[in-house]
Each structure stands twice: as structure tokens, then as C-alpha cells.
């Protein structure tokens, strides 16, 4: 993907400026898709999910603004390992990223959405390539 400085700066700023609302939409979508989350993790888990979504969006915004797709992919690989180390299934991150894609595609202006989704998809591919074959 060619680096268009203005587009990358605008997309990064859009995500950064709207990240709290985007994180809330992502979290609510994730909880609708995986109904047992509220029972399993309770209110504290919901707050952590909001915090994690916000952090992921912050990282995505900065990676896009700087044109550094690899840094976001690396963050997702790290996050996948952290979640696995905490005993969570890989599906937790998979659903998180699918919710991120859906929210970004629906909430951002078209050009920003396409760029952001491309970054997330590249990160998904990197995560998948780093997981043991039995987990893919």
C-alpha cells in the first residue's frame, strides 16, 4: 500500500478523535456476538474489554498516522500471546478484530475505513501466521 501522508494522517486522527465511541461500539458488538462474556467476566471484564479496545484503537491510529503497518501487526502478535498466557482462547482476539473491522467500516469515512481495515486485516494475517498450526 503506497503511503499517502494526508490520507494516513486523516485516518489516524479520525480514529484517535473517536476512539472512545469506537471502543464502546466494538465492545458492545463483541458482547452481542459472544453472549456468555458478561456472565464469564462480569462488570470488571467489561471495563477491561473497553480499555483493551481503546488501547488497540490508539495503537492502530498511531500506526496508520505513521504509515507503519508492521508495528500494528506486531502489537497484535504480542496481544495474542498475552491473551493466550492469561488462559484466553485465540477466538477472543479473533472476535475482537472482526468487531474492530465492522465498526471501523461502518463508522469511518470511506477512505479512512478502507485504510484502517487494511491495517487490521494485515495484522490478522500476521497473527494467524505466528500461531501454532493446530490453532489455525
Q: What is the CATH number of the domain that holds 62?
A: 1.10.490.20
- Give the pLDDT of residue 40: 84
Q: Note the pLDDT tens digit of each residue in 16-54.
A: 999 999 999 999 999 999 888 888 888 898 999 999 999
pLDDT tens digits along 53-98: 999 999 999 999 999 999 999 999 999 999 999 888 899 999 999 9
What DSSP string runs through 92-107?
Answer: HHHHHHHHHHHHHHHH
CA distances from 63 to 43, 74, 76, 119, 131 (A): 30, 11, 12, 9, 23
The three cell numbers locating residue 8: 494516513
Per the structure, how many domains does the chain have?
1
Q: Which domain holds residue 131?
A: 5-135
Amino acid at each position: 500500500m503506497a503511503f499517502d501522508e494526508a490520507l494516513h494522517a486523516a485516518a489516524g486522527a479520525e480514529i484517535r478523535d473517536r476512539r472512545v465511541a469506537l471502543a464502546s461500539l466494538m465492545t458492545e458488538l463483541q458482547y452481542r456476538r459472544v453472549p456468555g462474556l458478561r456472565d464469564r467476566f462480569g462488570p470488571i471484564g467489561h471495563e477491561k474489554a473497553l480499555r483493551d479496545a481503546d488501547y488497540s484503537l490508539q495503537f492502530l491510529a498511531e500506526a496508520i498516522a505513521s504509515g507503519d503497518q508492521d508495528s500494528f501487526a506486531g502489537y497484535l502478535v504480542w496481544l495474542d500471546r498475552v491473551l493466550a498466557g492469561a488462559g484466553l482462547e485465540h477466538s477472543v482476539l479473533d472476535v475482537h478484530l472482526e468487531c474492530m473491522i465492522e465498526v471501523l467500516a461502518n463508522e469511518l469515512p470511506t477512505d479512512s475505513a478502507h485504510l484502517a481495515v487494511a491495517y487490521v486485516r494485515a495484522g490478522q494475517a500476521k497473527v494467524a501466521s505466528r500461531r501454532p498450526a493446530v490453532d489455525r
